[in-house]
Amino acid sequence: MNQMVNTWIEVCALTEIAPDTGACALINGQQVAVFRMREDNRIYAIGNHDPASGANVLSRGIVGDLQGERVVASPIYKQHYSLATGRCIEDAQYQVPAYPVQVVDGTIFVGSVPQKTYITTPQAREEKMRLVMVGNGLAGMRMLEELLEIAPDLYEIEVFGAEPHGNYNRIMLSPVLSGEKKLDDIMLHPHSWYAERGITFNAGDEVVKIDRKRRLVVGKSGYTTSYDRLVIATGSSPVVLPLPGRELDGVTTFRDIYDINKMIDASENYQHAVVIGGGLLGLEAAHGLNKRGMKVTVIHLMDRLMERQLDHVAADMLKTTLEQRGMRIELSAQTDKILGNERVTGILLKDGREIPADLVVMAVGIRPNIELAKSAGLHCERGVVVNDIMQTFDPRVYAVGECVQHRGIAYGLVEPLWGQAFVCATQLAERGSIQYRGTQLATQLKVSGVEVFSAGNLESDESCEDLVIRDPKRGIYKRLILNNNHVQGAVLYGDARDGSWYAELISEQTDISSIRNRLLFGRDFAMKQAS
């Protein structure tokens, strides 16, 4: 039997591969991933082809220690492959070839013939890895909580926050505006929380640059720090309409504590407020200002309020409720100009009408904050593009929250962000096997004190059936859209107790034929009768 002759093939200079990273080389027509370790400059070489995903990606994976072995994590499915032997830690059916390596006069050479075993003695990690998180909003901090629960001692952690505060619950800004809560009531992670856990917190120092080649993060203050793993959680920014007069005093968005304080100050000194946008945020702003005694007008471009969540009937009921509380609602209306000299005095609509305003609040949507990621050379579309384990184009860099685009979707609701945070935490803890597959969107909330729920597809056609209960006197409306004995969509107004159950039926596509006649009356009644 002829035995293949091993020859040493020159790859590159040792210094051309950064410590704890890999490079791809072509050895006898085969892609080989060559890795350089930081601690002792030891070099490893294994096949670049990940058999679990079928992609040539292992050279882009993250190296580390796992179960006493030095391994590389596939950037796609996160299986770990031993750098010494090529075996898959999680699944014995997967194996990649391991190649002999030597360094001569500062040049790396890889043997042309793979070998079955390549014995090495991995050294224990003496220093903690450095984890830096850019942003300290809801998604990022939820991820950090999960990580500290799973692997509290794995990283030395540093967090940058653009605002001087700790992490507060942005969902609860509306009660702060209406006077029902104060800032302290919605603070989730005060400065002391970071200090107690040994986390360096750079409050009020926005990150302005990420140097991926040198693995450095630079703050606006000029402060620079290094990372082994980086999490981008920069969130989103409110959309500002390009209207003449938008720079006037008294024009604001509804996104953070600064906006809330500006609105509260206006409510104490002025009378008329205009809110541009009849979605959830706009109505919450209107409700808060109304509670503080201002005369509020809501301007909405569409023909119904909350058109993404409500059908026409529920939207009409909501409009009636808000008008009964003293608000003015203008639908199918478009703002042409904001009036005033130094401070806003009103708005001009496209149809020529003028509406007085001492305060104008723009609440017309959000836009993922991706400029920092784009400037770092990461792949971005509408958001920072991530895979199913929340990795960006760079496998050392993860991203979570409203700045993220996953499978073409950028989420703006809380529930998807929690799922992203958990998956990201398990991956960073080096215990990851789960993946984020996306979230079936469902909205359950209180709009100006009214319970509202919606989920699924609310557009019905000839193949659909509508089940409806409407009680105007009690302010209750329920509509279920059925398609082939499955719930396709649901809208609840005034009573949303069974929203989570309907969302489950939609998500799992449960056959409801046996409970169809009782479906509208809620889970308890329907399931009790069925049993």
Q: If you write DSSP's letter for every residue of 131-148 in order, what string do you get? A: EEEE--SHHHHHHHHHHH
Q: For residue 3, what pLDDT is reported?
A: 52
CA–CA dist 109, 165 (Å, integer)? 52
Sign of the C-alpha dihedral computed for residues 312, 315, 319 and 325 taken in this order: positive
Structure-block tokens of residue 316: 């009409």
pLDDT class of 125 with cuts at 50, 70, 90: low
User: Do strands 487-493 and 450-456 pair parallel, antiparallel, or not at all (unpaired)?
Assistant: antiparallel
**pTM of structure:** 0.78
Tell me what pLDDT residue 93 has: 83
Residue 449 has pLDDT above 90, yes or no: no
Same domain, 358 and 310: yes
pLDDT at position 519: 95
Q: How far is the first Cα of the chain from the last one, in angstroms, to the nearest whole number? A: 71
Predicted pLDDT of residue 432: 65
- 508 vs 348, higher pLDDT: 348
Domain identity same for 75 and 94: yes
- pLDDT at residue number 529: 59
Q: How far is CA 104 from CA 119, 144, 309, in A?
A: 20, 43, 66
Task: Yes or no: say if 502 and 527 are a contact pair by the CB < 8 Å rule.
Answer: no
Residues 231 and 250 placed together within one structural domain of the fold: no
Question: What is the per-residue pLDDT for 412?
Answer: 83
pLDDT of 363 > 80? The answer is yes
Residues 305 and 355 in one domain: yes
The arithmetic mean of pLDDT across residues 192-212, rounded, is 97
pLDDT digits (tens, 9 = 90+) for 112-121: 888 754 334 3
| pLDDT at res. 122 | 40
pLDDT of residue 221: 97
Instruction: Let me know whether 215 and 250 are in one domain.
Output: no
Q: Do 244 and 358 reside in the same domain of the chain?
A: yes
How many Cα neighbours within 13 Å face the side chain of 372?
A: 27
**What DSSP state is assigned to residue 351?**
T
Query: How high is the pLDDT of residue 2?
Result: 46
H or E element in which residue 314 lies: helix 312-324
Which of 38-52, 140-154, 185-199, 378-392 has the lowest average pLDDT? 38-52
Nearest to 151 by CA among 494, 447, 510, 430: 430
**CA 67 – CA 89 distance, rounded (Å):** 9
Query: What's the pLDDT at 119?
Result: 39
Judge contact between 23 and 59, C-beta under 8 A: yes
Q: Are residues 103 and 145 in the same domain?
A: no
User: Is 409 within the bounds of a domain?
Assistant: yes
Q: Is the pLDDT of residue 437 over 90?
A: no
Please state, in angstroms and rounded to a whole number, the distance separating the CA atoms of residues 487 and 234.
36
Give the distance, in angstroms, between the CA of residue 527 and the centroid of all CA atoms in the same chain.
35
**Residue 68 confidence (pLDDT):** 65
* DSSP assignment letter at 122: P
Q: Does 523 share its domain with 503? A: yes
Whether residues 326 and 417 share a domain: the answer is no
Q: How does pLDDT run across 286-309, given as a tens digit for each residue?
A: 999 999 999 999 999 999 999 989
Q: Could you tell me if 141 and 223 lie in one domain?
A: yes
Give the tens place of pLDDT for each residue, 60-87.
Answer: 988 887 766 788 988 877 688 989 888 8
% pLDDT > 70, the chain: 95
With H, G, I as helix, E, B as strand and everything else as coil, classify residue 524.
helix
pLDDT at 136 over 70: yes
Strand partners, 55: 50
Q: Residue 204: which CATH number?
A: 3.50.50.60
Q: How many helices (H) and strands (E) does the chain have?
A: 11, 39
Shared domain for 189 and 297, answered yes or no, is no
Tokens 């998180």 belong to: 133
Output the average pLDDT for the chain.
91
Contact (Cβ atoms closer than 8 angstroms) between residue 77 and residue 61:
no
Strands 200-203, 187-189: pairing is unpaired
pLDDT tens track for 497-527: 999 899 889 988 999 999 999 999 998 988 8
Domain boundary among 317, 338, 364: 364
Q: Which two tokens stand for residue 174?
A: 């509306």
Q: Which two tokens stand for residue 500?
A: 């989570």
What is the count of structural domains for the chain?
A: 4
Q: Is residue 123 part of a domain?
A: no
Which pLDDT does position 433 carry in this prediction? 67
Q: CB neighbours (10 Å) of residue 513?
A: 11
* 220-232 residue pLDDT tens: 999 999 999 999 9
Rg (CA), the chain: 28
Residue recorded with tokens 């007008």? 297
Are 249 and 335 in a shared domain? yes
Residue 460 inside a domain? The answer is: yes
* Ranges assigned E (strand) in 244-353: 251-253, 272-276, 295-299, 328-330, 335-340, 344-349
Mean pLDDT calculated for residue range 231-259: 97
Banded pLDDT at 254 (limits 50, 70, 90): very high
Is 155:229 a contact under the CB 8 Å cutoff?
A: yes
Overall residue count recorded for the chain in this entry: 531
Pair 488, 506: CB distance under 8 Å: yes
CATH number of 500's domain? 3.30.390.30
Asked if residue 387 belongs to a domain, the reply is yes
**Alpha-carbon 147 to chain mean position:** 16
Least confident of 45-54, 74-83, 207-216: 74-83
pLDDT the model gives residue 19: 87
- Residue 107's domain comprises 8-111
* Residue 223 identity: Y
Residues above pLDDT 90, as percent of the chain: 72
